[in-house]
Amino acid sequence: MCWLIGSVAERFLRFATCPVLLVRDAIVAT
């Protein structure tokens, strides 16, 4: 069960940080 939570958390973090990086790149580009 612990590995499942870790996998979901890792996937969520990766999904959450992707838009942040895109937004940061957009801000830097402007």
Number of structural domains the chain divides into: 1
Task: Find the helix or strand (DSSP H, E) in which 23 lies.
Answer: helix 2-29
Tens-digit pLDDT profile for residues 1-30: 677 878 888 888 888 887 888 888 888 987
Domain carrying residue 17: 1-30
Q: Tokens at residue 16, please?
A: 């959450």
Task: Find the helix or strand (DSSP H, E) in which 11 lies.
Answer: helix 2-29
> What single letter denotes the amino acid at residue 20?
V
Q: What is the pTM of this model?
A: 0.41
* Residue with tokens 């790149």, as numbered in its chain: 25
Q: Rounded CA gap, 13 and 10, in Å?
A: 5
Q: Tokens at residue 7, please?
A: 């996998």
